[in-house]
Amino acid sequence: MSTSPSQLRKVLGRREVLGLAFGAMIGWSWVVLSGEMIVRAGTIGSLLSFLLGAVMVFLVGLTYAELTPALSRAGGELTFTFVGIGPRASFLCGWALVLAYFSVCAFEAVALPLVAGFLFPGLKTGYLYTLQGWEIYWSWVLLGSGGALAIGVVNYFGLRLASFLQWLASLLMLLVGLSFFGAGNLNGEWINLTPYFTNWSGFFSVVIMTPFLFLGFDVIPQLAEEIKLPAPVIGKLILFSLLLALGWYGLVQWTVGLSLGAEARASSDLPTADAMTAVYGSPLAGQLLVLAGLLGIVTSWNAFFIGATRLIFAMSRARMLPAVFSRLHPRYDSPVAAILLMTAPAMMAPLLGRPALLWLVDAGSAAAVVGYIFVAASFLAIHRKYPHLPRPFRVAAPGLVGVLALLATISFALLYLPWSPSALLWPYEWAILLGWSGLGALLVLITGRRLSKREKEEQRSYILGDYDRVLLESGSEKS
């Protein structure tokens, strides 16, 4: 394998980039979580809580839209926080987002057997044990683990193949979704929308899920060195992908609310699929939607796998992780060690069963919000320190946008704390978050002691590339 730390090739066009971002945000969650969100908050309450979460994410998306084309380096947020705040903040931001991305990959490994079980009810064989009331079977574990292995193998053969499969799966999923929205709004009944609102605890429990559901637009910065598009277009694609996801999730919740009554939603394992069955009057329609959800598993899983491996690659190139993770395959240009690092633990996730789905959603959401806080703070700091940095895509009123994004993300972070009605679940969700944080803190201490002055200069060179010179020419920083 090549030991060069920076040989990624530009292979992604507009279609592939949009397919990666949209497919990442949609995934399987629109099938499995939409009914749960309505049950928690009510039909209108669910839509309003999701919209509130979307406002926070969109504010952060504006900072990404400006920073990504201005500092187009693999790892995205790693570069933003390094420039704006410093190397340790850069590591912490990157580490939080690796957890967020991995949580999605593990989520999909658990979700895959659930989809298969809906389509093939006789699939459960080889009982192992019961966890939190959910029975774990060997057949489900093998299927989920096999899916994780397949995603790893596809990515081993390079980004060109993975991005093409992503675009194709996203297109097919989009067509099925449109057929559901059309029939549901024609054949649904307004009486089914009751209850419109449940309670504030349910409302905020949906709010804290939204960062996880929107997680995916931030995959674009991870691939910055592999995108062959004009810089301003990259910023526009980030915002456009967010608007697409907002429209999609809103339509799913509204259509499920119209199509199924409250009792049917509460008793259904997959309310979105049952809603599709109801509006078409055929179980085949529900199975078709589940197949579309299966495609969503593939798109989300693949996109976050790509994003996580590029982020790990960038952190390794910056001497924040062992050098082996920045080595690329000589033929496919894939970060093989990073792929192995993501594949192996994802193969173990199905052993946790369905209870792990919500644990991963909430812990992954919290990790994503931590990353967003760092990006919002870095956005403000970069505007202050480098006022003349060339910005191919400019945000109007950047000071106001940055402050609002920072306040919104901090407010979201407070929702996960113990005194909040939507606090993370003890011990499972806190164990995921605190365990990962502890490991990250240990790595910060280790890497901080090991780097010499020369190595720190190399770290800056690897993170910034040619932008090191650009920043010196455009900033007001004296260092």
Question: How do the domains of the chain map onto residue ranges?
Answer: 14-474
Residues with Cβ within 8 Å of residue 427, at least 6 apart in sequence: none
Q: Is 0.95 surpassed by the pTM of this model?
A: no
Q: Which run of H or of E encompasses 131?
A: strand 127-131
CA distance 194 to 190: 8
**Which tokens belong to 56?**
């926070």
What does each of the 479 residues of the chain score in pLDDT, given as a tens digit? 344 454 567 888 888 888 888 888 887 778 877 888 898 899 999 999 989 989 888 999 999 999 999 888 888 899 999 999 988 899 889 999 999 888 888 888 888 887 787 778 778 888 888 877 778 899 989 999 999 999 999 888 888 788 888 888 888 999 999 999 999 999 888 999 989 998 888 898 888 888 878 888 888 888 888 888 888 899 999 999 999 999 999 999 999 999 988 888 888 878 899 999 999 999 999 999 988 888 888 888 888 898 899 899 888 888 888 888 888 888 878 889 999 989 998 898 888 877 777 787 788 888 988 999 999 999 999 999 888 888 899 998 999 999 999 998 998 888 888 877 777 888 888 888 888 888 877 776 766 556 677 777 777 887 887 777 777 766 554 44
Contact yes or no for 161/152 (Cβ under 8 A): no
Q: How far is CA 467 from CA 71, 74, 258, 272, 317, in A?
A: 7, 13, 52, 47, 16
Domain range 14-474, CATH architecture: Up-down Bundle (1.20)
CA distance 387 to 281: 60
